[in-house]
Structure 1
């Protein structure tokens, strides 16, 4: 009975992880592209504000995980540096959704292992086995093919999406370098608790400078259509749920299971986005995406075998 309950709990967690991940992605796309709310920095700031508040409630009030305190000013500066890279990643990703279909952004996002390997080598001189590097060839080739066959290709959107993917990889490598000592390591929930408020501080002036009168425009829009308020609140809560469920799935499954689920999640997001937004797709584009996913699976296998 206990094993059965545990299985259902894990299935529920994975379902919540998939739903929140794909949900926030599709809602971002709807708001920034279809609804016409063209303020990706403000949208990211809403996400980070929700993550700040909900992280505090979950850790300090509800005690879902023990609170890990910061040890030094240096540790705070390291977390601030990570937060800056994290902001760049999320904002770039949201900007790309204004110009590109979700299916294509998922194909580009699947190249994260390539950028991770490059940054790990450049910043730590960490070399992987030759087999790992070979598996990165289909990862990159697939995106090149998908780009050539993408009917809705937009160069600026593609550059932003590539930047978001690179920044995401850079954050994971930096996190390993900056928070490597035992005294500085934080679990992802506590890291988010400290990163999110720093992100809000970074994004607030960026929003005011780069998205002129966004607060006034949002208030005016809310007077015409109150749904925008609910969209933003729900979207921001989902952004936190993505981080919470990711932490819980990581805790209750193995790293390998997480990799497999992550690869499948991208494919599920592609199918759902095409069904909802009905964006045109070409056979070439889909073959390119499948080649990239195959490359990521081979990469995961190669990494596992060379450990």
Structure 2
């Protein structure tokens, strides 16, 4: 019955059988069958067709309110039971955009797992918009992304700052300039991240402050990851703007420079679904991250 309640609550909140079926990896008829089974068990109609969608019956509204409370109480009960265990265990599924997912979280989570060796992680990486959607659909427990998504269903907490700089190879003509002006960039090809990434949005916003747009530049490649961008730069496809967090010691062939009057700063944010109770392992990990930065981890070691 609890599983049927969870699906029912998700159907109501998503407003679509199809979306819930997609998120759960099942067919839409399977969700319909689950809801009919729930109605049969309760002996009441919960849904009423309305155009191409549905609305809740009066009984459905009452059941929705009680189902939310029951699921919340069940999660609290599990949490209390976990607290009584000698050692917390479980898996935390974290979503992340490319910079925190590839360069920051793997390093930051090490000290946490030393304290909680029976907690393991699953890390899903994609662009910021995709990860926000996964938090919304509860495919991940929470996410760390480069955009501030604060909505009626999502909560956003600042994690740490990030700075994005102009990057090219040592032998690039731009490296011969003592001071690089934004106008100098038009003479050479640019590599950019794909649409949907918080990184690209930050670059676009900074350029707009100088009355410039990506359409003003010669774009040689749109790439789906920062590593692809760095390899494109090494391969001679042009310059790009890259987070300094993504520049590693083995990137000695790349040079990071400032552009006069162009400052690209953003933040990384912890994104959770509002009113969702986190499991004990997830809450511990989330609390650890909200109180940690890379600098603090270095000091700790």
Class of the TM-score when normalised by the shorter of the 2 chains: under 0.3
The TM-score, its normalising length taken from structure 1, stands at: 0.22
Structure 1 or 2: larger strand share? 2
More helix by percentage: 1
Name the structure, 1 or 2, with higher relative contact order (CA <8 Å, separation 6+). Answer: 1
